[in-house]
């Protein structure tokens, strides 16, 4: 039987991790209002906050399917999830297997048609891959990195072909053919990792600039994003930069990394200053952070949004967003942010099928909405089967898990026309966010606590007295405000409140 975390199981002593890095993370986000008491919190969102809405998508590998992210089982599961968009891979070598032999009757096109036929938009990741068009790739497909630089990638920019005439020509013709089909596209995947990009960071920047120019010439409406920064690497890079720039002490950086990697079941463990110092000085970490710096510096004017990947504790997400915005601003530009890989870490099937994963889905999705990300694509795959630690929304052959039901609840609620309005309280115990409907009324509230349960008093928006309270599993009840307020007893697990 799957593990079940019900309401009673959360009324426990506050874990030490609840407050980790609270002072520093809070300082990077908007200040939270003072609580009115330790036993009860009275909250009301201020009006006039900046509104925003995020595109929600899914990348899915379904257990029992072919393993392809565009497998019919995966497409059907995503279409039923409440998502608007599906992420897929598109390879140059598939569409143009020989020089000049560009075809629109390939596996790439079949995948596009299958996903659009299910009523979904696409968020493709565009790969060079390996083949006749690349240099330095190993003999035979499947070895080395996922992609390599085009053989004609140079160092001199040409207005009509960028740094690579062959790549520019393919990208332009492909996006001209599919004009209007894509809202977003990522150029490669995790290019600071040699597992995915066999070239240098500088070569990747030149490839990205070429892709950007070609895509914008063919379909200006597409939002072009970079390859996304590896979640596991980002925590160390942020900590190292904050220390180097004097913004954090070593102890503050330790607190942050302890929180950031608290969900890790993998290789990174930070328990002390010595652990952090050792992690920051690993050759792989130093090289990945160097690549990230090169990419951020080179991407100015060549992306519509910076892309990052995130699988860590949701309470560290505001610090990641703040660092990316501050870093690009320091370099001299500012752009939107997206994540085309967000997910949950977990050790095994038992966790994957539990409500514990569902809680994390709720908290991460809602937190991402409050930070103004333009798109969030959920990564759904049980990668612990390969010795790793990510868990998926779907069970065998696309069967629903509690996490997929929670994803659908949040996605369909927010897709009903709600936009983020304001954060009322952002930890370390109570988290409370308010969304407004199409009429500008703050009629949706999402809240939860970490640690001890709390009683929370809500003040309904003008003229509304009826509230539907839905927990993260979909269980609902109707309540009526009395004397201008609604008191919720023992708030623990994530809930949403809709005022009518």
pLDDT of residue 34: 34
pLDDT of residue 490: 85
| Contact criterion met (CB below 8 Å) for 321 and 351 | no
pLDDT at residue 32 is higher than 50: no
Count of positions (residues) in the chain: 500
Straight-line distance from the first to the last Cα atom of the chain, in angstroms, rounded to the nearest whole number: 38
- Name the DSSP letter for residue 421: E
pLDDT of residue 225: 98
Two tokens at 220? Answer: 């200006």
Confidence of residue 137 (pLDDT cuts 50, 70, 90): low
Domains along the chain with CATH numbers: 7-50+420-499 (2.60.40.1180), 55-417 (3.20.20.80)
pLDDT at residue 499 is higher than 80: yes
pLDDT at residue 76 is higher than 50: yes
pLDDT, tens only, 181-198: 999 999 999 999 999 999
pLDDT at residue 120 is higher than 90: yes
pLDDT of residue 274: 96
Neighbours of 74 (CB within 10 A): 27
pLDDT of residue 39: 35
Task: Determine phi and psi for 259, rounding to 5 degrees.
Answer: -70, -50
Two tokens at 41? Answer: 């919190």
The answer, as to whether pTM is greater than 0.85, is yes
Percent of the chain with pLDDT over 90: 78
Confidence of residue 385 (pLDDT cuts 50, 70, 90): low
pLDDT of residue 139: 53
pLDDT at residue 248 is higher than 60: yes
Kindly give the pairing relationship between strand 336-342 and strand 375-380: parallel
| CB burial of residue 438 (10 Å; 0-12, 13-18, 19+) | exposed
pLDDT of residue 463: 86
Confidence of residue 452 (pLDDT cuts 50, 70, 90): confident
Confidence of residue 6 (pLDDT cuts 50, 70, 90): very low
pLDDT at residue 33 is higher than 60: no
pLDDT, tens only, 138-176: 654 456 899 999 999 999 999 999 999 999 999 999 999
| Contact criterion met (CB below 8 Å) for 390 and 379 | yes
* Spatial CA neighbour of 365 closest among 25, 82, 8, 77: 82
Distance set, CA 265 to CA 141, 193, 232, 261, 348 (Å): 31, 20, 11, 9, 10
pLDDT of residue 347: 87
Helix, strand or coil for residue 116?
helix
pLDDT at residue 242 is higher than 70: yes
Q: Give the chain's mean pLDDT.
A: 88
CA 366 from centre of chain? 11
| Contact criterion met (CB below 8 Å) for 39 and 454 | yes
Confidence of residue 264 (pLDDT cuts 50, 70, 90): confident
pLDDT, tens only, 392-433: 999 998 999 999 999 999 999 998 899 999 999 999 999 999
The mean pLDDT value for 294-306 works out to 97
pLDDT of residue 45: 40
């Amino acid at each position: 039987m799957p593990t079940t975390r019900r309401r009673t199981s959360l009324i426990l002593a506050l874990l030490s991790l609840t407050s980790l890095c609270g002072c520093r993370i809070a300082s990077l986000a908007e200040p939270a209002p003072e609580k009115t008491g330790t036993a009860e919190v009275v909250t009301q969102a201020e009006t006039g906050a900046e509104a925003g809405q995020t595109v929600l998508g899914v990348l899915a590998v379904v257990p029992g399917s072919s393993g392809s992210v565009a497998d019919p089982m995966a497409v059907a599961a995503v279409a039923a999830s409440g998502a608007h968009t599906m992420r897929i891979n598109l390879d140059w070598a598939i569409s143009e297997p020989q020089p000049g032999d560009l075809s629109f009757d390939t596996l790439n096109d079949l995948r596009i048609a299958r996903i659009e036929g299910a009523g979904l938009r696409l968020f493709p990741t565009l790969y060079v891959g390996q083949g006749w068009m690349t240099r330095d790739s190993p003999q035979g497909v499947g070895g080395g990195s996922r992609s390599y630089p085009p053989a004609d990638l140079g160092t001199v920019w040409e207005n009509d072909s960028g740094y690579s005439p062959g790549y520019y020509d393919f990208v332009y013709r492909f996006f001209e053919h599919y004009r209007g089909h894509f809202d977003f596209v990522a150029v490669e995947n995790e290019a600071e990792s040699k597992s995915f990009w066999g070239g240098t960071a500088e070569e990747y920047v030149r490839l990205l600039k070429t892709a950007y120019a070609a895509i914008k010439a063919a379909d200006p409406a597409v939002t072009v994003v970079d390859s996304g920064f590896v979640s596991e690497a980002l925590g160390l890079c942020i900590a190292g930069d904050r220390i180097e720039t004097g913004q954090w002490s070593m102890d503050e950086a330790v607190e942050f990394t302890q929180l950031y990697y608290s969900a890790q079941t993998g290789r990174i463990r930070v328990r002390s200053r010595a652990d952090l110092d050792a992690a920051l000085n690993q050759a792989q970490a130093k090289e990945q952070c160097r690549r990230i710096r090169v990419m951020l510096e080179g991407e100015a004017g060549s992306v519509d949004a910076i892309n990052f990947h995130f699988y860590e504790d949701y309470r560290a997400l505001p610090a990641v967003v703040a660092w990316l915005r501050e870093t690009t601003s320091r370099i001299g530009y500012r752009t939107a942010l997206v994540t085309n890989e967000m997910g949950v870490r977990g050790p095994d099937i038992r966790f994957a099928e539990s409500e514990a994963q569902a809680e994390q889905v709720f908290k991460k999705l809602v937190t991402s909405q409050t930070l103004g990300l333009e798109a969030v694509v959920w990564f759904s795959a049980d990668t612990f089967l390969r010795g790793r630690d990510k868990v998926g929304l779907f069970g065998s052959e696309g069967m629903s898990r509690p996490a997929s039901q929670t994803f659908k609840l949040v996605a369909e609620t927010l897709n009903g026309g709600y936009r983020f309005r304001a954060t009322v309280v952002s930890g370390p115990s109570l988290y409370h966010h308010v969304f407004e409907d199409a009429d500008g009324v703050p009629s949706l509230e999402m809240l939860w606590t970490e640690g001890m349960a709390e009683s929370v008093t809500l003040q309904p928006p003008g003229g509304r007295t009826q509230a539907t309270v839905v927990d993260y599993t979909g269980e609902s009840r109707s309540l009526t405000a009395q004397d201008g307020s609604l008191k919720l007893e023992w708030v623990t697990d994530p809930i949403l409140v809709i005022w009518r």
